[in-house]
């Protein structure tokens, strides 16, 4: 009898504590939502984030605004969400850079692991490109050319991002002796790459396919197990002799620590509805990404599997903050 008298008040207290969270989920969202993108505008991550934000706005019935906060290897944008109110109105365009790479490069005054994974959205396959002025048409020809011009060629990418690390890995494995040139994002490096001031770059198909099709860049190899449908004549890195190479960049929605689970569940359901919608799939597929709908736990498992290998690759690169 005594235990029963104790149990009832405890249940009542628990329900009272949970009530605001269920209420929040029922009324959420009741005002505009902001998605922080921790890289410069115009790159593949930014482009994809804006496309998803537009679809979320339609589904949720509230404005969904993208705000770019680049700098310090994505740490500025990530920290702003770690310290934001956990009400679901400030979200993060989460990437492997902020979870696996930045913690290796920087001494952080916040814990990126405290971010709440909401939904994985897409993987971003990469492609190795060179300027058309370079007298090479295959990976083998590029390697031979680079070795014949050791110390004279360079490659670009934003510090501590997959393009930088993939370029570094390729430079190291193929023993090319190239020099790394840092940029503030993928888009800012494009003029130098097209003009031949940069001689090689890895970056997402989202960013590079239009330039490849216009003849402004030459594709030598795509990352992945299969050739990309939009570039059927371009071999994979595996076909070019580089079977052991890192996986794709990826992105998903993340929320501040302690965001109520009902809000997380609603956002996950919304994102998955978008990714499975024929209309949205057609729109997003044109961005040359691999859509990855799934549960919150699917995203957690994905992060757990991807983070260690990219962290190790960052350490192997010898990259240092600017």
- pLDDT tens readout for residues 253-284: 999 999 999 999 999 999 999 999 998 888 77
Taking the CB of residue 17, how many other CB atoms lie within 10 A of it?
A: 9
* Residue 232 to residue 3: CA distance in whole angstroms: 70
Q: Are residue 112 and residue 45 in the same domain, yes or no?
A: yes
Q: Tell which residue, 116, 124, 123, 69, has the closest CA to residue 253.
A: 116
Residue 9's pLDDT is what?
Answer: 53
Residue 15 has pLDDT above 80, yes or no: no
The domain in which residue 69 lies consists of 31-124+248-317
Q: Are residue 68 and residue 100 in the same domain, yes or no?
A: yes
CA 151 to chain centre: 31
Q: Are residues 154 and 196 in contact, defined by beta-carbon separation less than 8 angstroms?
A: no
CATH number at residue 143: 3.40.190.10
Residue 17's pLDDT is what?
Answer: 53
* Average pLDDT of the segment spanning 96-100: 89
Q: Are residues 248 and 44 in contact, defined by beta-carbon separation less than 8 angstroms?
A: no
Residue 13's pLDDT is what?
Answer: 54
CATH number at residue 272: 3.40.190.150
Give the total number of structural domains in the chain.
Answer: 2
Tokens matching residue 71:
């700098």
Tokens matching residue 303:
């992060």
Report pLDDT digits (tens) over 39-83.
Answer: 888 877 888 899 999 999 999 999 999 999 988 878 999 999 999
Q: Are residues 136 and 107 in contact, defined by beta-carbon separation less than 8 angstroms?
A: no
Domain end position, chosen among 188, 222, 256:
222
Q: Are residue 117 and residue 60 in the same domain, yes or no?
A: yes
Identify the DSSP state of 113.
G
Taking the CB of residue 292, how many other CB atoms lie within 10 A of it?
A: 19
Residue 20's pLDDT is what?
Answer: 52
Domain end position, chosen among 222, 240, 269:
222
Report pLDDT digits (tens) over 223-242.
Answer: 988 899 989 999 999 999 99
Sheet containing strand 290-291, edge to edge, reads 64-68, 33-37, 90-95, 249-255, 116-124, 290-291
Whether 235 is in a domain gets the answer no
* Average pLDDT of the segment spanning 132-161: 94
Residue 25's pLDDT is what?
Answer: 61
Report pLDDT digits (tens) over 161-212.
Answer: 888 899 998 999 999 999 999 887 777 899 999 999 999 999 989 889 999 9
Q: Are residue 292 and residue 149 in the same domain, yes or no?
A: no
* Residue 76 to residue 182: CA distance in whole angstroms: 18
């Amino acid at each position: 009898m005594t235990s029963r008298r104790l149990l009832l008040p405890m249940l009542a207290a628990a329900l009272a504590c949970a009530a605001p969270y269920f209420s929040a989920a029922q009324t959420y969202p009741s005002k505009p939502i902001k998605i922080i993108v921790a890289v410069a505008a115009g790159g593949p991550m930014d482009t994809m984030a804006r496309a998803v934000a537009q679809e979320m706005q339609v589904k949720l019935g509230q404005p969904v605004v993208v705000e770019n906060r680049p700098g310090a290897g994505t740490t500025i944008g990530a920290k702003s969400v770690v310290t934001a109110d956990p009400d679901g109105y400030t979200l993060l365009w989460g990437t492997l850079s902020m979870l696996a790479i930045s913690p290796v490069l920087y001494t952080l005054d916040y814990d990126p692991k405290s971010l709440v994974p909401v939904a994985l959205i897409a993987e971003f396959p990469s492609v190795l490109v060179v300027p058309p002025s370079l007298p090479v048409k295959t990976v083998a020809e590029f390697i031979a050319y680079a070795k014949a011009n050791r110390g004279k060629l360079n490659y670009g990418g934003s510090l501590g991002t997959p393009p930088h690390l993939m370029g570094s890995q390729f430079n190291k494995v193929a023993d090319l002796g190239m020099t790394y040139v840092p940029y503030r994002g993928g888009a800012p490096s494009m003029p130098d790459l097209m003009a031949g001031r940069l001689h090689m770059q890895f970056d997402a198909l989202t960013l590079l396919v239009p330039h490849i099709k216009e003849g402004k860049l030459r594709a030598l190899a795509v990352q992945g197990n299969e050739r990309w449908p939009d570039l059927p004549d371009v071999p994979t890195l595996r076909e070019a002799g580089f079977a052991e190479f890192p996986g794709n960049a990826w992105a998903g929605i993340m929320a501040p620590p302690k965001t109520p689970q009902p809000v997380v569940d609603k956002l996950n359901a919304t994102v998955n509805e978008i990714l499975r919608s024929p209309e949205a799939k057609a729109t997003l597929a044109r961005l040359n990404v691999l859509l990855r709908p799934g549960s919150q736990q699917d995203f957690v498992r994905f992060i757990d599997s991807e983070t260690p290998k990219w962290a190790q690759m960052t350490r192997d690169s010898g990259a240092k903050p600017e």
